[in-house]
Structure 1
Amino acid sequence: MLSGVAGVFEWAHQWWAVLSWLVMFVFLAGAVVEMYDREWGRYLLVGGWVVLALFWVSSIYQFVFDQKSITEGIAVVAAIPLSLYVGYLLATGRDRLLMISRGVAVAWLIYLPLSTVPFLRDPLIAVVTDQTAVVLSLIGADFSVVAGNNFPADISLAEPPQSYHQSFFFQFPERNGGYNIVYTIKMACTGVGSMAIFGGLIAAVRAPLKRKLKALAAAVGIIWVLNIARNVFIAYTFGYQRLQVFPDAVMSAFGLQTHLEVSYIVADRIIAQFLSVAALVGITYIVVMQLPEVLAIVEEGLYVITRKEYDLQKALGVGVRADGGVEE
């Protein structure tokens, strides 16, 4: 039964790349048209939310069945009805959702080229790998950096490496009969997804450029530092097998083939991902303190989830003038 369901989503996953570009183009077209004709722009953006829902369907296999990510799996599944619901609200006249739609357009415009265009993607992965390696060296880790994406245990020469991926290779011939651990730095390890989200939020609101740039710099800087720390934590605890917590239970719950994967699952799929959610909430608060206009998007997001109106500006004691300035 489960294998049949996985097969359906695996088939849907083949459309992931096409749908990701279609999402960007439809949202961008809608955002541009909406500046000149609100109603036609609305129609395009409603279509964008429908395409986005299909994109999330195509992503289920990757996050739920392949990566076995609890946080991302729940988020992807929940995003399907939420995307359709946002499209419905927008179609029936909820104009404040036009702002969120513009934010999605900008976020996709930031993320997709950076994650797919080689001359943008490859240097980014290399820089993140180099900085992670520096910190790992400072804490005394013994490793080598190799090209490839072989994961999670012994490197297999039968699999041609992805040249733009970089991996940390840990060798322990004296432990448990000897084993090799490979932790790969992929696009998901760069933090660009989170940066794109905040870039979209900040770009979508109307406010003085100076404050928008200040908020963006704060968000990107914090995300970058925390992301390097996350990579170091996962590489070290996985490479040195420091988190072999309830290995039998973890292997059973996540369908793992070897005990060597347990530390990675605990470090990344459980600890790091839940801490990332908490970090995003904290970064949002910092951005709001610099750019209170973002609260309008947060309020609208809460409305979509709860169907209740919120006044977060009043709750947090900040206000925004109609001219885009902050009330003193």
Structure 2
Amino acid sequence: MLTLLWISISLMLLSAILPVKNGSKRIIGAFGWSIFSLHWLRQPFHYIAIDDYVNVVLTISMGIFCILIAYRMFIEYTSKYTPVKQQIDITYMATNAIAIGSVFYYPFAEIASLNEWLISTVTNNIMWALSTLNITAYRTGNMITYNGHTVEIILGCTAIESIALFMGLIASVNAPLKKLLAAFMASVPVIYILNILRDVFVVIAYGEMWFGPNSFEIAHHMIAKAGSGVALFVIAYMVMRILPDILELIDGLWDMTAEQMHNLRKKVLGNN
């Protein structure tokens, strides 16, 4: 249910904006993560129905991760946890990152008017890029046809997921505005421009049948995705060079998850 999603995001946003010294900050965050886990644990049923078992594993893992964060925040709340000044607050940063990233992603994913506006904007940009390259393509709604071969532009073609991820991570860091702006410029505009180029490549490769009958699959599923992966890796490296706290956050979440899983294993199997 979308209600679960919006409730969880609202609670995490509230936790994010409350002052650090507010005693209810962590318990509100814990409830937000708990409800967020319910949203993710409902997703595997959809992916099982379409035989997408990779996403079954990913959504279950995300649900478990949310539960671990919720449990950690609950423990911090009951123990009156106060982070050491020289160290980053892992659960606080993670909550901020997810809350802010969700605000940038889910409205476009779930609200039809915003979804259509974003797809239309990206389609306009693709058509402009094609015309700049002197390539005559035709547009019908969010469908682009070149040489009789049609590509549909959907939400996944807009890079909104990656943009929202970096927006959340950057906004979660307590750093000077100059560094935050530098990290933003090294990620969000670059991701958007590279994504337009990726879409243009797919349209041309499919229209020209560069790779034979399977041109779309090879261009989109293999080359474009591999290129996107490399680009995101390089962008992430640049952002973490500017904002090292993001790397500390990732390390901290990894260590926290390993510790929580170890503790759970001990409780289930005993101390031996």
Normalising TM by the smaller chain, what interval?
0.7 to 0.9
Question: How far apart, in 1, do the equivalents of 2:60 and 2:127 lie?
Answer: 34
AA of the residue aligned to 2:144 = F
Q: Structure 1 residues 90 and 124 mapped into 2: Cα distance closer, same or farther (>3 Å)?
A: same
Q: Structure 1 residues 143 and 209 mapped into 2: Cα distance closer, same or farther (>3 Å)?
A: same
AA of the residue aligned to 1:85 = L
Paired position in structure 2 for 1:296: 248
Cα deviation digits, residues 259-317 of structure 1 (max 9, x gap)? x7x54444334443344333322211111222223233222233245549xxxxxxxxx
Q: Which runs of 5+ in 1 are unaligned?
A: 1-14, 148-165, 173-180, 245-259, 309-328
1:268 to 220, 223, 228: 220
Q: Structure 1 residues 65 and 131 mapped into 2: Cα distance closer, same or farther (>3 Å)?
A: farther
- 8 Å CA contact 2:122–2:196 kept in 1: the answer is yes
Q: How does 1:1-328 map to 2 (within 5 A)?
A: 15=1, 17-33=2-18, 35-38=20-23, 40-60=24-44, 66=50, 75-93=58-76, 96-117=90-111, 120-139=114-133, 141-147=135-141, 166-170=142-146, 172=148, 181-243=149-211, 263-304=215-256, 306-307=258-259
AA of the residue aligned to 1:41 = K
Question: How far apart, in 2, do the equivalents of 1:51 and 1:280 lie?
Answer: 29
- 8 Å CA contact 1:106–1:199 kept in 2: the answer is yes
Question: How far apart, in 2, do the equivalents of 1:62 and 1:136 lie?
Answer: 36
Question: How far apart, in 2, do the equivalents of 1:289 and 1:216 lie?
Answer: 13
TM-score, normalised by the number of residues in structure 1: 0.64
SS of the residue aligned with 1:169?
Answer: strand
Q: Structure 1 residue 100: deviation in Å? A: 0.8
Question: How far apart, in 2, do the equivalents of 1:64 and 1:73 lie?
Answer: 7
Question: How far apart, in 2, do the equivalents of 1:263 and 1:129 lie?
Answer: 20
Question: How far apart, in 1, do the equivalents of 2:125 and 2:45 lie?
Answer: 31
AA of the residue aligned to 2:178 = K
Identity of aligned residues (%): 25
Q: Which runs of 5+ in 2 are unaligned?
A: 82-88, 261-272
- 8 Å CA contact 1:96–1:300 kept in 2: the answer is yes
Q: Structure 1 residues 238 and 66 mapped into 2: Cα distance closer, same or farther (>3 Å)?
A: farther
Moved more, 86-95 or 198-207: 86-95
TM-score, normalised by the number of residues in structure 2: 0.76
Q: Structure 1 residues 90 and 240 mapped into 2: Cα distance closer, same or farther (>3 Å)?
A: farther
AA of the residue aligned to 1:29 = L
Q: Structure 1 residue 140: deviation in Å? A: 5.7
Q: Structure 1 residue 107: deviation in Å? A: 0.9
Q: Structure 1 residues 136 and 64 mapped into 2: Cα distance closer, same or farther (>3 Å)?
A: farther
Please state which structure has a larger fraction of its residues in helix: 2
Q: Give the total of aligned pairs.
A: 249
Question: How far apart, in 2, do the equivalents of 1:24 and 1:116 lie?
Answer: 13
Question: How far apart, in 1, do the equivalents of 2:173 and 2:195 lie?
Answer: 26
Moved more, 78-87 or 272-281: 272-281
- 8 Å CA contact 2:93–2:173 kept in 1: the answer is yes
- 8 Å CA contact 1:54–1:80 kept in 2: the answer is yes
Question: How far apart, in 1, do the equivalents of 2:228 and 2:259 lie?
Answer: 26
- 8 Å CA contact 1:97–1:300 kept in 2: the answer is no
